[in-house]
Structure 1
């Protein structure tokens, strides 16, 4: 079941332009990617402010996070596939326009429905990074591709920590919760203008058939999965709604695999997904996301706990953001190191080393969590792991797919990484909720030790997956 879009001209791929300036292009793509990632994490500390502004409960306002994640799950693979087919510059401009519009809607509206629509539009922004990777691969000189991809991919970790810090700073400066979205909208609008001006990539679309049935089964399955994970803590993991969502996800995703193997032009090529290096990289990314991003909720909640309860440091939103500042520095350093390692020994070793460093981070937290600086040091180590692992992933994926499949392959990986992060966060939250202080909704100190061990165990699985990755580096002649 499909509908055909008929573009004016058809070809198989675009030709790079020699007059594009790589540094300007990379700056525009990095700015756009960073703005989108920051936008997703900066909303966490301002949920209470949004609830007050919209005159809704905290339970209701939590849907601004859920809707954003659902939109990202559905649109990231779709926009990645469209970018490979009808032009990555075109689709990234459309995406940035939608994100900017979403920011404006959130900033100006006092209607919960309109705000949720704006957050759904912002969720499309998760496709920016995979589209940017495709642009870099098709436009940059080969020797500059690994370092540029390492930086773009590392921005996922940098932005997640920076978003909390920026949000805390803006709150201290007196910026309202909705006012922050004017700032994020201005930055993505700047990225949109920069994309139009500096990225000179004359793309000619090829004939593209919209795989409607594949889109419906994949989108429906991902919505059920992400909604079940996100709402599990509030609805109850054993509730009929959550179990029904997981069952629906299983059925729809299984149906999607069957559909994609039967249509002429699938939304996502299952054969590509089964390529050993692509499959191994995706498994590693999923496990790494689950382990590493589980650390965010643990660190933030621990340092914000008032010290009178026997642990914690009573930090506010800004203090929690400053605790994650070493993560940003560590990720930047590791991304630069990853690009050098990729050139010398290939991308598999940075990925493996990154997962080992992440595992060591949780081992450190198991033994040392009595002082605030312990957590600052741990987030720095986690940043090193993020930068090395995520910096190597695009190069690994690109080694297993054709240039025409670059964006869709990285979109699937981005989606799996995000779902893994959601699962890791849900697991960490569930472990903390299972052992609370009597009479208080506050975890016991031992619950954190258990959660550190569980997240570290997930990272051990990521180490194993990275070690088994079937990739052999060939040094260029």
Structure 2
């Protein structure tokens, strides 16, 4: 039986987790159905991250609060999402991924329902925090892909699932604006509730529970430490433009958050069952991939911050393009779809060149997109080209990252490791939002009695984005060469390995 098991692995080129899921009889739906369900869930949770953007200027009036208080409706979702990307991953490793996917969808249902019934700030913040918690669906879904798909399908499925964060956010902006125009501001949350309910059902019936939980305990202290450190740090970063980078509140929050995170690292290294296995993440493939993720995440968010403002500035400025919010969303939507369209292309690149080179290519394409932005700023269609090229690069890069992480991580830690990678992308995006906001706010020109970002500020932002993307390419180039294949070809397994661990390592 043992050598039959080894021969089976050789024949299909599968990894151990997929073979074991087949042997357990856990499959309840064809793999393609499960992947589609995961992608729908990923896009739905990502959609909630941008659905309030059309309401931002109206939120103080709608909620009866100040503009500074209403800004937390956006910020609290970012903070909750950042923490639960890692927490959800660890819970999935302990208790099974399907259970956590259903819990994430449940949090999205409750959060959306609370927001739909809210007309004041406090319940709205609670609902938006619950919506942010649901973003853990994406890294957990990514880590599940290899366990429920045959090897030939896995690279494309990973690429598609990785793209859902960008696709959902890009589609969410124009869709939410249209829903608000047609049905009012509460309607967008009722729609989110209905979509979340569909995701919950799909997670229950189309995604198998393959008993992939592992013995262990949840590190409550580690979760609290990570939450405090991340929240304080990200508050400082996200508020830097409003408070000023030299303000005591900004410096205190950033320094305090980093101090807590450093202390958290020391505590985690002494835990027998930490929230995140930091020693594993310090391995060169994982560490370098996460650093590259910072740069690529920076590049993705920089595009999302800069281009909408340029599209919406009055045409009378001489460089603004005078687009409405809904038109801006429509111009940006194809860029999100570009990430999904590049999933099969990314898959072929991973199979033919390996994930390391694929990540380098993705970062270089993103840099080309930003470089085009320096010279293509005169019409919406020009910015559409810039966004599509940049989004293609992001899609290629995002597809390669999970493969690199999963190749270097034990199966029992896969979800937490992918969650940490998603977190580093998110932190890169937060830094980009703060830096781009500062650049645009500090390089202004007078227009009809108000100060607006000058044309040179947008050129500078595109240049910074290109540099960040090139930095990501350089970092990715120093990743160690891949030693195993995720393709469906015959895998180099020893003819008669001495132990089962040898089989897992060889595969």
Which TM-score band applies after superposition, normalised by the shorter structure? over 0.9
Give the structure 2 partner of residue 295 of structure 1: 303
Shift of 1:474: 4.2
Secondary structure in 2 matching 1:69 = helix
CA distance in structure 2 between the partners assigned to 1:335 and 1:436 by the alignment: 39
CA distance in structure 2 between the partners assigned to 1:341 and 1:406 by the alignment: 23
Shift of 1:204: 6.2
Secondary structure in 2 matching 1:210 = coil
Give the structure 2 partner of residue 347 of structure 1: 355
CA distance in structure 1 between the partners assigned to 2:28 and 2:83 by the alignment: 35
Secondary structure in 1 matching 2:217 = strand
Q: Are 1:81 and 2:120 an aligned pair?
A: no
Match of 1:210 among 218, 223, 241: 218
Q: Is the 8 A contact 1:138 1:403 kept in 2?
A: no
Give the structure 2 partner of residue 453 of structure 1: 463
Give the structure 1 partner of residue 167 of structure 2: 158
Q: Are 1:315 and 2:323 an aligned pair?
A: yes
Q: Is the 8 A contact 2:361 2:397 kept in 1?
A: yes
Give the structure 2 partner of residue 427 of structure 1: 435
Matches within 5 A, 1:49-448: 49-172=58-181, 174-203=182-211, 205-438=213-446, 439-448=449-458
Give the structure 2 partner of residue 470 of structure 1: 480
Q: Is the 8 A contact 1:293 1:421 kept in 2?
A: yes
Q: Is the 8 A contact 2:295 2:469 kept in 1?
A: yes
Q: Deviations over 1:377-436 (max 9, x none)?
A: 111111211111111111111110112111111100111101111111111111111111
Shift of 1:473: 5.3
Shift of 1:161: 1.3
Q: Is the 8 A contact 2:108 2:193 kept in 1?
A: yes
Q: Deviations over 1:333-375 (max 9, x none)?
A: 2222001111222112221111111101111111221122110
Return 56-65 or 223-232, whichever deviates more: 56-65
Shift of 1:49: 3.4
Change (3 A) 1:371 1:204: closer
Shift of 1:303: 0.6
CA distance in structure 1 between the partners assigned to 2:465 and 2:395 by the alignment: 18
Q: Deviations over 1:99-135 (max 9, x none)?
A: 1100000011112101100001011112101111222
The answer for unaligned runs of 5 or more in structure 1 is 1-11
CA distance in structure 1 between the partners assigned to 2:171 and 2:208 by the alignment: 30
CA distance in structure 2 between the partners assigned to 1:204 and 1:237 by the alignment: 45
Secondary structure in 1 matching 2:218 = strand
Q: Is the 8 A contact 2:90 2:218 kept in 1?
A: no
Secondary structure in 1 matching 2:452 = coil
Give the structure 1 partner of residue 505 of structure 2: none
Shift of 1:213: 2.5
Q: Is the 8 A contact 1:334 1:383 kept in 2?
A: no
Secondary structure in 1 matching 2:450 = coil
Q: Is the 8 A contact 2:346 2:399 kept in 1?
A: yes
Q: Are 1:33 and 2:69 an aligned pair?
A: no
Q: Is the 8 A contact 1:50 1:177 kept in 2?
A: no
TM-score, normalisation: structure 1: 0.94
Change (3 A) 1:474 1:88: closer
CA distance in structure 2 between the partners assigned to 1:183 and 1:80 by the alignment: 27
Return 225-234 or 133-142, whichever deviates more: 133-142
Return 290-299 or 233-242, whichever deviates more: 233-242
The answer for unaligned runs of 5 or more in structure 2 is 1-16, 491-507
Shift of 1:472: 2.3
User: Which of these two proteins has the greater Rg computed from alpha carbons?
Assistant: 2
CA distance in structure 2 between the partners assigned to 1:204 and 1:366 by the alignment: 48
Q: Is the 8 A contact 1:133 1:406 kept in 2?
A: no
CA distance in structure 2 between the partners assigned to 1:214 and 1:298 by the alignment: 36
Q: Is the 8 A contact 1:73 1:226 kept in 2?
A: no
Return 116-125 or 309-318, whichever deviates more: 309-318
Give the structure 2 partner of residue 7 of structure 1: none
Q: Is the 8 A contact 1:102 1:122 kept in 2?
A: yes
